[in-house]
Structure 1
Amino acid sequence: MDVNLIDEAHPGKIAAVFNNETDARAAEKALLQSGFFSQDVINIIQPNDANLSHKIEPDSPGIAGTILKSHGVLGVVGLLAGLILASILITAGPTFTESNPGATYFALGFVGLMIGMMIAGAISLRPDHDPLITETVEASADNKWTIVVQAENRDGVNQAKQILSSRAVSITETI
């Protein structure tokens, strides 16, 4: 059974920073001419762009889906792990757990649920996106242009990187 906790259509991203609009537009044209990318997955962020956050993370429903799916799945997995551990302790464990099965099930089930939810929270925060977001925000504040390409997988990120690497001042990627 394959459970993918990331619900975003394009979980991979690459941000390429350029010194000016001309270089950014030429890079955008190269991406489009490759036939691998369409206009809807390419966003150009100009200096001090008012829509910067939406251009970096345009898939709000996908992010919400990731939050819901990861918390649901990992919460249940954590709860079940806690209940299994409680069963083992009640069967073969210390006297306290044998004489208080209800408290043992409740306590370990609750702890398992909370651990699962905390892991889901870490997944939902997508800490792997932080360097890309920071680089893009700083470039915009420094009057530079950035192209953010949304990719479905590692191949898409690699393809964008190959096209942009010779033109960009810096490149940051995530998947």
Structure 2
Amino acid sequence: MKLKYLLFGERSLTKVAALFNSPTTAQEAANRVRTICHMADSQVKIVSPADQPSGTAFSTKIEPELKGIWHTLVRAHLWMGIAGMLAGALLFVLLYALDNISIRSTPLLSLLAFLGFGLMFGLMLGGLFTLRPDHGHVITVVRQAVEQGRWAVVAHPTDPAQVDSVIKALARGSERVVKTF
């Protein structure tokens, strides 16, 4: 099982957006992506100036997998918390084996401290995975374009090959293409 499936609950981990000056070119690009890249309508959305950046329509088009985001939140925190505790336990074992005097003098308290700090740092890392900082850039670019009266086509490909074909399809006729990691 790949690490990304263990941590993330969303089907599409990558977001690709392209900016257009007219609704016609945006619609043509969306149709081209659906056809060439064999994507469903639910994977390709057009964000228009009518979609208020603070509104539900905008949010749903940019982040359509609300249930998947919640699964990501739970999975990332659970698995990163466990990994952090394991890292803390390994560090404790290493220092104990190296005959560290402070660890040897209070082994139970030391173990609890290492497990606690490992859990804390693991949960913080899980929070970072949940925040998805790479999405912030794409969302900001689309929000600014919409506020300036332009259109955006946002695609949610599910695999690396589809990501590459979406980028190529959207590059034709768009002024800018951005993507998440």
TM-aligned CA deviation for residue 9 of structure 1: 0.6
CA distance in 2 between partners of 1:3 and 1:19 (Å): 39
TM-score (norm 2): 0.90
Among 36, 39, 42, which residue is 2:41 paired with? 39
TM-aligned CA deviation for residue 2 of structure 1: 3.4
Contact 1:48 1:141 in 2 (8 A): no
TM-aligned CA deviation for residue 32 of structure 1: 2.5
Contact 1:91 1:98 in 2 (8 A): no
1:54 equivalent in structure 2: 60
SS in 2 for 1:12: coil
TM-aligned CA deviation for residue 48 of structure 1: 3.9
TM-aligned CA deviation for residue 35 of structure 1: 5.3
SS in 1 for 2:88: helix
1:117 equivalent in structure 2: 123
TM-aligned CA deviation for residue 145 of structure 1: 0.6
Aligned counterparts, 1:148-163, within 5 A = 148-163=154-169
Contact 2:37 2:165 in 1 (8 A): no
1:3 equivalent in structure 2: 3
Contact 2:20 2:26 in 1 (8 A): yes
1:29 equivalent in structure 2: 31
TM-aligned CA deviation for residue 89 of structure 1: 2.4
The 1:2/1:149 distance shift into structure 2, 3 A limit, reads closer
Q: Does 1:64 align with 2:70?
A: yes
Tell me which moved more, 19-28 or 2-11: 2-11
- Amino acid aligned to 1:15: A
SS in 2 for 1:113: helix
SS in 2 for 1:120: helix
Runs of 4+ in 1 over 6 A off after TM superposition: none
TM-aligned CA deviation for residue 3 of structure 1: 3.0
1:80 equivalent in structure 2: 86
1:171 equivalent in structure 2: 177
Contact 1:90 1:104 in 2 (8 A): no
Tell me which moved more, 37-46 or 92-101: 92-101
How many correspondences in the alignment? 175
Q: Does 1:129 align with 2:135?
A: yes
SS in 1 for 2:10: coil
TM-score (norm 1): 0.93
1:18 equivalent in structure 2: 20
TM-aligned CA deviation for residue 61 of structure 1: 1.1
TM-aligned CA deviation for residue 14 of structure 1: 0.7
Listed as ranges, the gaps of 5+ residues in structure 1 are: none
Contact 2:146 2:152 in 1 (8 A): yes
CA distance in 1 between partners of 2:37 and 2:154 (Å): 17
